[in-house]
Amino acid sequence: MNNMTVAKETRDLLSKLGVAESLYTGGNMASYTPVTGEKLADLKTVTADEAKSMIDKADAAFREWRLVPAPKRGELVRLLGEELRTAKADLGRLVSIEAGKITSEGLGEVQEMIDICDFAVGLSRQLYGLTIATERPGHRMMETWHALGVVGIISAFNFPVAVWSWNAALALVCGNSIVWKPSEKTPLTALACQAIFDKAVKRFGEAPQNLSQVLIGDRAIGEVLVDHHLVPLVSATGSTRMGRDVGPRLAKRFARAILELGGNNAGIVCPSADLDMALRAIAFGAMGTAGQRCTTLRRLFVHESVYDKLLPRLKKAYESVSIGSPLETSALVGPLIDKAAFDGMQKALAGAKEHGGKITGGDRFDAGQANAYYVRPALVEMPEQAGPVLEETFAPILYVMKYSDFDDALSDHNAVGAGLSSSIFTLDLREAERFLSADGSDCGIANVNIGTSGAEIGGAFGGEKETGGGRESGSDAWKAYMRRATNTVNYSRALPLAQGVSFDI
Where along the sequence are the contacts to ligand NAD (CB under 6 A)?
154-159, 181, 183-184, 218-219, 222-223, 226, 237-239, 242, 245-246, 260-263, 294, 392, 394, 420, 467
Report strand pairing: 378-381 vs 421-425: unpaired
Give me the catalytic one of 260, 381, 466, 472.
260
The minimum distance between CB 307 and ligand NAD, in angstroms, equals 28
End-to-end CA distance of the chain: 86
Strand runs labelled E in 44-189: 131-132, 139-147, 150-154, 177-181
Classified as helix, coil or strand, 44 is: coil
Query: b/e for 5-18, b at 16 or more Cβ within 10 A?
Result: ebbebbbebbebbe
Instruction: Please say which residue, 154 or 460, places its beta carbon nearer to ligand NAD.
Output: 154
Instruction: Please say which residue, 124 or 447, places its beta carbon nearer to ligand NAD.
Output: 447
The minimum distance between CB 187 and ligand NAD, in angstroms, equals 9
Query: Does the annotation mark 260 as catalytic?
Result: yes
What is the Rg, in whole angstroms, of the alpha carbon atoms belonging to the chain? Answer: 24
Instruction: Please say which residue, 223 or 412, places its beta carbon nearer to ligand NAD.
Output: 223
The minimum distance between CB 293 and ligand NAD, in angstroms, equals 7
The minimum distance between CB 359 and ligand NAD, in angstroms, equals 22
The minimum distance between CB 437 and ligand NAD, in angstroms, equals 23
- Indicate the DSSP class of residue 368: S
Sheet holding 445-448, edge to edge: 358-360, 378-381, 397-403, 297-303, 265-269, 421-425, 445-448
Residue 210's φ and ψ, nearest 5 degrees, are 65, 30
Say if CB 471 and CB 455 are below 8 A apart. no
Instruction: Please say which residue, 239 or 272, places its beta carbon nearer to ligand NAD.
Output: 239
Q: Whose CA is closest to 33, among 334, 258, 447, 279?
A: 334
Query: b/e for 353-362, b at 16 or more Cβ within 10 A?
Result: eebebebbbb
Residues 6+ apart with CB under 8 A from 31: 24, 39, 40, 41, 42, 43, 98, 185, 186, 187, 188
The minimum distance between CB 193 and ligand NAD, in angstroms, equals 14
Instruction: Please say which residue, 66 or 298, places its beta carbon nearer to ligand NAD.
Output: 298
Instruction: Please say which residue, 7 or 236, places its beta carbon nearer to ligand NAD.
Output: 236
Active site residues: 260
